[in-house]
């Protein structure tokens, strides 16, 4: 399981306050000699994604989905495309796993080392997933399947977005039993979906038309992947905008209602004023009529008075 790399020169180290050691100039191509302290060693970055344009869409979607699901578990490490060191005596014995998960570990100690060290964590990862590609399929199916069992990874899954052109199956899972992997039961639905239950994740992995989806039977729903999350975000923004418009419409309607109420108050006051004016005018007219009648009556009571004068 070891590979020979170019040898780095000794002495090119910088110590950090946390006691870890960074080796200046070290790359993933370099051979790591025995003088490097495995407990203080900061790992170099892994090599670029193999067949990157083919693997990257699936890798990005899977990592987003899993990280979102376990984001509230501080002792759960979700990582991918980083080195996993499994041999404290030889740091060149290492693998780059597309996606792996470890439960009940000190995540910060692993992040600080830029890699996962089995002896630092105290355990191997609980779950590993490889994504099929043209250049990695044989290693994933044969070599890694053998070595991950030796390392002690509890579950090893393989996903082929082509539907089986590389792995000869769209989805496969193995569970570690007595130091050896045994295939896990999978179900193929009439519509072509292939799925199986992962005890490690307590989720169902589902091959669905070229995508890997995760189904949570406890909520009877799929975990939101990157595309679904973007759609949900768009819907949330649209709902928010609709709520803003509705609130503005309600505020405008209330404003119009208040204006109408005020207009009604003014109109009622004007009507009351007009009625009062009309009543005053009627009283004045009635008084004038009564005065005229009194005058006429007095004139009629003195018929000859005007002639004698």
Residues of the chain below pLDDT 70: 1-19, 21-22, 24-25, 227-242, 244, 303-309
Taken as a whole, the chain contains a residue count of 309
Class for domain 13-220, per CATH?
A: alpha beta
Q: 12-43, pLDDT tens digit by residue? A: 444 544 567 667 667 778 888 888 899 998 99
> In the prediction, which pLDDT does 11 show?
44
Contact 183, 192 (CB under 8 A): no
Which sign does the torsion angle of CA 112, 114, 118, 123 carry?
positive
H helices then E strands: how many in the chain?
Answer: 7, 16
Nearest residue to 98 (alpha-carbon basis) of 156, 165, 36: 156
pLDDT in tens, 51-109: 777 888 999 999 999 999 999 999 999 999 999 999 999 999 999 999 999 999 999 99
The pLDDT value recorded for residue 236 is 59
pLDDT of residue 24: 67
- Per-residue confidence (pLDDT) for residue 12, from 0 to 100: 44
Q: Residue 127's closest CA among 105, 112, 109?
A: 105
Count of CB atoms situated within 10 Å of the CB of 100 = 27
What does the pLDDT read at residue 252? 83
For the chain, which residues make up each domain, given as ranges? 13-220, 224-300
């Amino acid at each position: 399981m070891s590979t020979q790399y170019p040898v780095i020169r000794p002495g090119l180290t910088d110590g950090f306050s946390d006691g870890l050691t960074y080796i200046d100039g070290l790359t993933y191509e370099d051979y790591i000699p025995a003088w490097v302290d495995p407990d203080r060693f900061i790992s170099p970055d892994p090599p670029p994604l193999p067949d990157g344009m083919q693997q990257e869409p699936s890798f990005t979607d899977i990592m987003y989905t899993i990280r979102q699901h376990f984001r509230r578990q501080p002792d759960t490490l979700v990582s991918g495309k980083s080195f996993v060191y499994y041999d404290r005596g030889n740091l060149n014995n290492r693998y780059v796993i597309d996606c792996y998960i470890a439960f009940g570990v000190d995540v910060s100690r692993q992040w600080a080392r830029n890699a996962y060290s089995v002896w630092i964590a105290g355990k191997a990862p609980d779950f590993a997933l490889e994504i099929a590609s043209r250049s990695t399929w044989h290693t994933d199916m044969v070599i890694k399947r053998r070595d991950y069992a030796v390392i002690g990874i509890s579950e090893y899954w393989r996903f082929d977005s082509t539907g089986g052109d590389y792995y000869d199956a769209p989805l496969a899972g193995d569970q570690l039993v007595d130091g050896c992997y045994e295939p896990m039961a999978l179900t193929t639905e009439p519509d072509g979906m292939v799925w199986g239950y992962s005890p490690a994740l307590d989720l169902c992995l589902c091959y669905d038309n070229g995508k890997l989806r995760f189904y949570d039977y406890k909520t009877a729903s799929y975990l939101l992947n990157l595309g679904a999350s973007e759609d949900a975000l768009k819907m949330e923004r649209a709902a928010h905008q609709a709520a803003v418009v509705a609130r503005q419409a309600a505020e405008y309607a209330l404003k119009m209602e208040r204006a109408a109420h005020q207009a009604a108050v003014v109109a009622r006051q004007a009507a009351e004023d007009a009625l009062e004016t009309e009543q005053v005018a009627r009283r004045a007219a009635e008084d004038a009529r009564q005065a005229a009648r009194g005058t006429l009556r007095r004139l009629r009571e003195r018929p000859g008075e005007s002639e004698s004068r």
